[in-house]
Each structure stands twice: as C-alpha cells, then as structure tokens.
Amino acid sequence: MKNKVTNIISTVLPLPMDNIDTDQILPAKFLKGIDKTGYEKFLFYHWRFEENGKPKASIFNNEYKNIKILLTGENFGCGSSREHAVWALKDFGFKVIISSTFGDIFKTNALNNHILPLEVSNDFIKKLFKIVEQDPDVTFSIDIEKQTLSIPSKNFVVNFQINPYKKKCLIYGYDDISFLLSLEKKILAFEKKRKNDFSVV
C-alpha cells in the first residue's frame, strides 16, 4: 500500500479571476506532447511571457517555493477538455485548487491526476482572498480525510465534499488500475470463498 497523504499544508497563490479557461491555463500551441510532464514552463504562458519569450511581470514568474495551493475565482477550468492543462498545474506544484465552481471535465481530470478541486461558497472565497491579501504568508491546511479546509491562525474552518472513491485515490495516490490492484487480496479471498461455497452445493 502506498504512503497515505491526508494533509496538505501550504501558503497560497491568489488568482482573483473568474472564468479562467483551459486555453488560458495552457495555450493550444503547447499540446504537442503525450507525456504528462514538462508543461510547467507553459502554464499561463500568455500571462507570463511576451511573444518573444521575454518574461512579463506576473505572480507566476515570482520565486515561489513549495506553494501547493491555488486560490482562484469561480468557474475555473471551463472551456475545452484538454487534460494537459491539469498536467501543467501539477508540474508547477499545485496539489489543491480552491474555487467556488469548476468546469465539469476539468474537475474530473484534476481528480484523476491527484489534484484536489476544492469547492467552497462564493462568500467564503471572498473571505479567503481577503485573508491572503492581508497576510500573504498565511498557511492553509487541507485535511482530505476529514474533508476540511482550515486556516489555523485565523480560526477558520469549512467542510468540503468529495466523491468517496476519488477521496481514497487522492489519499493513496491510486489511479483506476492501481486501485483495483490494491483489492487483489480481497478479490482472491472472495473467489476462493465463492468456489468453496459452490463445492459444498
């Protein structure tokens, strides 16, 4: 069994914009690869670089270390279904994206790639942005097992929802195949019992 990942503790990168689509996250011209890695440098490319490749003044070009949480506006990941957008976010180091709503396909792609799309209310999002604005070094704590988002220094806590199966995959790092393999002993035991039950008959 893989090591459990139940808590994600990190400072936050705030992106107070609504309706950020997958083409903004990763422009179409960078969809040439089939590997899931190597997309970090293309994340939000048109926001970060001029046409000649010269860096712009962007929060994504700052020296961030170990920031695992992206805080953003509503309807994040709308637009096309490109999974590459999720790969780029993961390559950049994000493990959690907090929004009030997500594009449906993006949300599925995120969960399949072990990024938690964490949904809270619009009112709570506004409070979170205000807290981060006042204290950029504030730390968020995400407890996947308990399904809570908290800010210990501010006595803030809120529950979030997640599909039970996807929750287990996030905690143990499973994909669909490795999840089935994790059940191998139970499956074999069931088959053995089933054969024994039939042999009695």
Q: What is the CATH number of the domain that holds 117?
A: 3.20.19.10
In a domain, 29, yes or no: yes
In a domain, 2, yes or no: no
Spatial distance between the Cα atoms of 38 and 12, rounded to a whole number of angstroms: 23
Q: Is residue 28 scored above 70 in pLDDT?
A: yes
pLDDT bin (cut points 50, 70, 90) of residue 35 is confident
In a domain, 85, yes or no: yes
At 56 the pLDDT is 87
In a domain, 149, yes or no: yes
Spatial distance between the Cα atoms of 50 and 69, rounded to a whole number of angstroms: 26
Taking the C-alpha atoms of 21, 62, 87 and 183 in order, what is their torsion angle to the nearest 10 degrees?
-120
In a domain, 60, yes or no: yes
Spatial distance between the Cα atoms of 15 and 97, rounded to a whole number of angstroms: 10
In a domain, 138, yes or no: yes
In a domain, 1, yes or no: no
Q: Give the chain's mean pLDDT.
A: 87
- Number of structural domains (the chain) is 1
**Contact criterion met (CB below 8 Å) for 95 and 69:** yes
pLDDT digits (tens, 9 = 90+) for 47-104: 999 988 898 888 887 766 679 999 999 999 999 888 999 999 999 999 999 999 999 9
In a domain, 31, yes or no: yes
* Domain boundaries, position 69: 7-200
Spatial distance between the Cα atoms of 170 and 46, rounded to a whole number of angstroms: 31
Q: Please name the residues in contact with 60: beta carbons below 8 A apart, sequence gap of 6 or more.
A: 13, 43, 44, 47, 48, 92
